[in-house]
Structures are given as C-alpha cells and as structure tokens.
Amino acid sequence: MTDSRHALIIANDRYADQGLKKLKAPAQDAAALERVLHDPQIGDFEVEVVHNASADIMRRRIQSFFNDRRRADTLLLHFSCHGLKSESGELYLAASDTEPPLLAATAVASQFVRGCMSGTRAGRSVLFLDCCYGGAFSRGSASVRASGEINVLESFAKDEPAGGRGWAVITASDSMEYSFEDHELTENSAPRPSLFTHAVVEGLETGEADLDADGNVSLDDLYEYVYRQVREQNPHQTPKKAAELQGELHLARSRRGGIKIVAVDSPPHVRAALDSEDFLTRQGAVTELCHRLRRPELPVAEGARQHLAEVTRNEVQPLADQAADALSEIRLAPSPDRLDFGRIPKGSTPPKQSVTMQGPPLARHCVAQPRQPWLRVDPTRNGLEVHVDTTATGHLSGDIALKGVADESVIHVEAEVTPADEDGPTKTDPHGSNDSTTPEPPPEDKRRTVVIGPSRIPDKPEEPPTTAEQQKRTDGTPPSRRAPALAGAALALAVTALAMLFMTIQRGVVAVVARADAGVNGNVEDNIREYGALTPLIVCLITGAAALVVGAFARHDLGARPEHYTKQATSGTQTLTSVAKGLAIPTLVLAVLAGIAYLVGSAQW
C-alpha cells in the first residue's frame, strides 16, 4: 500500500462497575485484528492497541490518533466494548472505569468520536463498532433509562468531514438492548461481540472477503462478507453500514484472485506486429511474446502473458494454439502435490518436507496458504517447505492452497500424530479418524500465508532453479549449443543474401548499359541473361528466406528450453538473430522489387 495507513484498536473486557458484565472476546479479538491489519501482505497498517483503558485515556488516544494527519492517510478505529445509551438517547462507549449513572464523565461519547473524525485532515476514516448497544439502567438511577432502542449510525453519520475525502462506519448491530437489574446485566441478553470481529479477521486473513476476486478487499467487500457471516451465525444480529466516500476504499490485499503483478507492456514493435495483416509477421510477434513470458523479470513476463491471452481469444487457430501452449507452461506445477508424513510421535521436532515449483519464474511465483492450523509453509529458493505441528495426537489431513497469476493448485498433506510411548498403530474409526477426532489447534496459530517465487527470496537471483552452468556442474551435461549455431547460420545466410543482392544490382546495371549501347536492336532480357544477373537474384531470395526461417528456429529453441543455455549463449543468440532478421528482411524486399522490375521491364525494353 503506498499511502500511510494507521489503525487504533480499543478493546475493553473488564469493568470496575459490577453492572457491566465482563466480556470474553475483546482481548483475543484485538490481538487477532492487530495481527491481520499489521501484516504487510494483507493490511499493511501501523497498529496501536489500547486495552482496558479509562475514559480519560481513551479520549486522549482517540484525539491524538486523528490529529496531525495528512490527506493521503487512511485511518481505521475499532471499538470492542459495551455500548450504552444515556437518558437523552446519546450513545456512549464504555471504558474500564465507566459508571452507568455518570456516562458523560466516565464514558466516551459518540459525539466526541464523531467530532474527531470530522476534524481530521486524513483522507479517509473508517470506524468499526463491535459493541452491544441500547438502553442500560440500574434501579434508582436517574441518568440512564432503557427508553427504546438507539440508532447507532445516526450517532456518527451526521456531519461530513471538513478536511478529508470521506468516512465510513460499520457496526456489529444497529439496535440492541441490555437491561440492568440491580446493577447486573441480564444473562444471555445479547449475542457474543466476537462474531463481528472474528468475521472481519477471517475475511481479511483468508482473502474470502475479496468477493469480486480483484486482489483487494474493499470496504464494500468486507461489509458484505461480514454481514453474511454474522447473519449466518446469529439471525438476530444485523451489521449495518453508513459511508460517504469518493471512490473505492481498499482495506487490504487479497490473494483470492491470484497474484497481482503490475505488467510491463510489450515493446511497440511487438504490438505493431500483432496488428499486422501478414501472418508471418504476427507469428514472429507471438514467438517474441513466448520468449518474454519466460523472462525472470516478472512484470515483463506478466505483460507477455496478458498479450498472449488476447492472442488465444482473437487470433487464427495456429497462432492461438501457439499462444495457448506457451500459457500452459506457467500453470502451477508443485512437485510433489501430495505429502505423507506417516506416523509422527507427539511432541517430536516438527518434521518438514520440500515441494519444488516447476516451470519458468512466472509459474513459480505464487501464494501458499495453509487451510489447517497445524500446517505451516516457509518459502525456499525452489519452492516451499511444509511443516507439521505435533502438539496433539490424531489423524491429520489437510491442504495447502496455491494461487498464482493464472490458476490455482492444491498440495494435499497427510500425517498421523501418535502418543510418544505408543508403538502400535493408532486406533481409528471406520472413517479414518481416531477417537480423539481432529486435534485442537496449537497454542499459537502457526498458519501464515507466504509468497513463493524469486522476488520473495532475499539475496537470490530471479533465475530458473537449474541453469545450464549448474546442469554442467551437477550431471556433466554441457550446455546446448544448438540455438547459437542456428543463429550463426541465420546470420551467414543473411549476409550471403545481401552479397547476392549487390551482385544482382551490379550485373543488372551492366546489362542495362549494354542494352542502351545496342540501340534499337538491343534486348534487355538477352543482356541480363548474358551477364548472369538472374542467378544471384534467385540465390538472394532463397538465402534471405532461409535466414528468417533458421533464425526463427533458433529463437524458438531458445524459448522452449531456456534452462539448457547459459546467459552468454542466450544473449548471443538474441543478438545474432536480431541482426540476421534486420539484414534479411530489407534484402528480400529489394530482391522482390528487382524481380518485379525485371519481369515488367524485359517485355517492354
């Protein structure tokens, strides 16, 4: 994310007043939300957490959070606490020292938060309220009454921010009521506050909140996802949203739609060749795109991939098939795609197995996301390492989802964690799981999404895992010389064609001069044959065409087998074929024009 992004999480679960029931979720929810928002691969926010603070500290932190911001800043404020309504109908957010009869003095008024949001210079401000709302009273209290429900959004959506571009408020629920009896909240009078924050964390962490699969989780995406999840868990709780935004606000990155790479457009001459009416010219452009697709520079390869995808949709069958074959090379190809760790003693050192990603750099660049808490993946130069947690016994069966630029794949993992002192096989039920069922997640959730590929491995070159030099060093097989040899032959043929063109022009000029000297009895056709101008012209046409064909074969072999060539061989082949092509094409054009001139002029002169 390029803009400055800041988040403040306020979580209160313990209250000095006995009438405010202790909440179970805020602390763990705050930790989970902090993790996902701070993750540079997801939210990339600078996060501050305030836990069980007094009303005075809350007000100071909130005002400080919104002060001294720039227009490019995005701010996110999250509350997880009790929400209370005063007798006048105003919403208050409970602090650790809140006293329900003294809300104005001991709680944070929604009007105060709204004022901070309205006065900030930040471009965009987002407020999440994971609270139970409504009237709250204790017998004998004159300041707090349970007089009807409260519309939470109306407490925040009144004023437009003065200095920023927009604001948004998302609430766990719009109107709920607690009832106090003798300073005690009624048991089970409201759903768990953790439903809302848990859905936010899950949607961002898994990427499932990216409903349009565009690689980003927008505010609208997240709200729709959270709404569905919360309503599914508790039909009596309805999240609400109000917003006044210009444009779309992206809260996080998502890998649900695959890797997103900013593509470098293909060179102008390639784009022009793709629009040519000549089939061979378009074929040469497609061949060039196939070569660029295998480049280690991922933006260059991504640009070629996008153009080749257009070719498959819009070109004639031979060229569409050529493009499709090239695109098939960048599909995810983990090897192996199934891992079996066998029997593992409980508490032993977590075992690991390696998976190699096959194909060119663009195919190896992907995101690996474990779907079970007992799985962990770490990136390596050639792929990834898979680790299995051994803290709990049971039959383990899970998947690692791989998402690349063009498709998705899955690595299936099996293991069985047995008691440390057990020698015999673990007893299982007919369905393949033991009587302890699936093990509980480890104390610390070790799942994490990692990016696999050359650009994510520090101090490693973005080259295929097996170069020609490595091949020669490990198995004794020398690098291939076929493409450089073909390129040299193409250049020799192009030079020969150019020499033959000069010879043709020289002999043609002599024949024309001889025809002029002969006067009315002369015949230019006889003079051309006499001086042998046709033979070098025919040789020129043949060698020029052969130079283009041999050069195309050289480039094709170089693109189809890049791992068989050294950097020097690759660079030399590209240079030789480019020079050969630059000589052969104009030579052929001039030779064809000379032939046309001969056919037209010999009959009339």
Shared domain check, 14 and 111? yes
DSSP collapsed to 3 states, 163-222: CCCEEEEEECCCCCCCCEECCEECCCCCCCCHHHHHHHHHHHHHCCCCCCCCCEEEHHHH
Query: Is 368 part of a structural domain of the chain?
Result: yes
Cβ–Cβ under 8 Å, residues 26 and 81: yes
Q: How large is the average pLDDT for residues 363-369?
A: 83
Shared domain check, 276 and 245? no
Last residue of a domain, one of 223, 253, 283: 253
Q: Which of 54-58, 179-183, 290-294 has the largest mean confidence?
A: 54-58
- The predicted pLDDT at position 234 comes to 81
Instruction: Classify strands 184-185 and 334-335 as parallel, antiparallel or unpaired.
Output: unpaired
Shared domain check, 110 and 242? yes
**Angle between helices 567-602 and 534-560 in degrees, nearest 10:** 150
Query: Is 418 part of a structural domain of the chain?
Result: yes
Q: How large is the average pLDDT for residues 31-46?
A: 89
How much of the chain exceeds pLDDT 70, in percent?
A: 77
Shared domain check, 490 and 446? no
- The predicted pLDDT at position 182 comes to 36
Greater confidence (254 vs 417) lies with 417
Query: Is 454 part of a structural domain of the chain?
Result: yes
Last residue of a domain, one of 194, 218, 253: 253
List the CATH number of the domain containing 348. 2.60.40.10
Query: Is 34 part of a structural domain of the chain?
Result: yes
- Tokens 């403040």 sit on residue: 8
Would the pLDDT of 156 be above 80?
no
Confidence at 153, pLDDT banded by 50, 70, 90: low
- The predicted pLDDT at position 125 comes to 92
Distances (CA, A) of 426 to 349, 392, 431, 442: 20, 13, 13, 20
Torsion over CA of 542, 547, 552 and 557, rounded to 10 degrees?
120
Q: Cα–Cα–Cα angle for 222, 228, 232, nearest 5°?
A: 145
Q: How large is the average pLDDT for residues 571-594?
A: 88
CB under 8 Å to 306, separation ≥6 — which residues?
A: 263
Instruction: Classify strands 5-11 and 46-51 as parallel, antiparallel or unpaired.
Output: parallel
Shared domain check, 457 and 563? no
- The predicted pLDDT at position 479 comes to 64
Shared domain check, 272 and 248? no
Shared domain check, 404 and 524? no
Query: Is 234 part of a structural domain of the chain?
Result: yes
Report field, pTM of the whole predicted structure over 0.75 = no
Question: How far apart are alpha carbons 330 and 180 in whole angstroms?
Answer: 63
Positive or negative, the CA dihedral 403, 407, 411, 412 is positive
Query: Is 467 part of a structural domain of the chain?
Result: no
SS3 150: coil
Question: How far apart are alpha carbons 82 and 72 in whole angstroms?
Answer: 32
Cβ–Cβ under 8 Å, residues 263 and 301: no
Shared domain check, 586 and 503? yes
Question: Which structural domain, as residue segments, surrounds residue 492?
Answer: 482-602
Shared domain check, 512 and 371? no
Total structural domains in the chain? Answer: 4
- The predicted pLDDT at position 432 comes to 39
Question: Up-side HSE of residue 315: CA atoms within 13 Å toward CB?
Answer: 27
Query: Is 475 part of a structural domain of the chain?
Result: no
Q: How large is the average pLDDT for residues 224-243?
A: 86
Last residue of a domain, one of 289, 304, 328: 328
Would the pLDDT of 429 be above 60?
no
Would the pLDDT of 452 be above 80?
no
Shared domain check, 584 and 506? yes
Question: How far apart are alpha carbons 422 and 534 in whole angstroms?
Answer: 92
Shared domain check, 159 and 24? yes
- The predicted pLDDT at position 530 comes to 75
SS3 583: helix
- The predicted pLDDT at position 514 comes to 76
Query: Is 473 part of a structural domain of the chain?
Result: no
Shared domain check, 150 and 66? yes
Model confidence pLDDT, tens digit, residues 481-507: 788 888 889 999 999 989 988 888 888
Peptide bond before residue 336 is cis, with ω within 30 degrees of 0: yes
**Angle between helices 194-206 and 219-233 in degrees, nearest 10:** 130
